[in-house]
Amino acid sequence: MDSKTAATQLEQLKQFTKVVADTGDFSSMKAYKPQDATTNPSLIFKAVQMEEYAPLLKKAIEETKDLGLSGEARVKTIVDHLLVLFGSEILQIVPGRVSTEVDARLSFDTEATIAKAREIIKLYEDRGISRDRILIKIASTWEGIKAAEVVTKEGIHCNMTLLFSMAQAIACAEAHAQLISPFVGRIMDWYKAKTGETYSGENDPGVLSVQKIYTYYKKFGYKTEVMGASFRNTDEIVELAGCDLLTISPNLLKELAESDAPVERKLSPEASAKADIDKISIDEKTFRWMLNEDAMATEKLADGIRLFAADINKLEAIIAKSL
């Protein structure tokens, strides 16, 4: 077997795409050497229940002790410190950036999202970490996108999450967001539940959605990066080889690292430039109508916000107990 065919799928993928670790677990990041890492409330909630991360929670509690806060305000502040402590540790492992999420319960509050993004960045900068290494994750609601537009002008880079539709993707690009995270697996889940069908990589509706968004961005020269997220299997990942970034869970990183099946580039700016597509003009009315007309995107956005909000509530309950 020559050295070319002996390369693992993960090694091959890294030639076309920046690989990002979708986890709060440090040992997985060390094992698979991703460029960046993403976290979310669900991942942090899982991690904080593991014994090895208890010192981080203890440190977050300690750091907020003398801020004169009590009750709910203290718990919320501890959450912010905890997220930033996780992010700071991750940045000692990955060479690139870490994504830290704004509280999902603020998804329909532009001003509160702006304030929270600034608070998180300040906590990182107080630790000597440059804002260039941080992506603030914000839900891709109209209110979230408007908040991203404001903080982007301040040099705060945003990762627009819970993205399921072209309407959201175009609005994020028009707001000059740094990066979007279209949720491949959750799109597929919805179609599978509705139709009862099983989808393979190339006809997977989540894969097709990201291909369409990537093509649109490259065709019309948008600088916003596309990072496929929420994968259910390695077929979905391989079909998106060439996407700017892909954020992948440790179990799927392991599968890619253990396979040497060939990976071909599927997406490229050159091919996208030749696509025969029209540019869509987005304002708030168009955004809301397009989203309303897309039952999958409407349901999955609402569902995703509810799930992340529930995990933030659970995380706060753990912290309140620790106090």
- The whole-angstrom separation of Cα 280 and Cα 282 is 6
122 is catalytic: no
With beta carbons less than 8 A apart as the criterion, state whether 38 and 247 touch: yes
How many residues would you count in the chain?
Answer: 323
- The whole-angstrom separation of Cα 234 and Cα 257 is 11
Q: Which residues contact 86 (CB under 8 A, 6 or more apart)?
A: 24, 39, 44, 47, 53, 56, 100
Could you give the maximum distance between any two Cα atoms of the chain, in Å?
65
Catalytic residue from among 14, 18, 116, 137: 137
What do you get for the CA distance between the two ends of the chain, in Å?
Answer: 58
Of the candidates 294, 284, 246, the residue with the CA atom closest to the CA atom of residue 170: 284
Task: Kindly list the catalytic residues.
Answer: 137
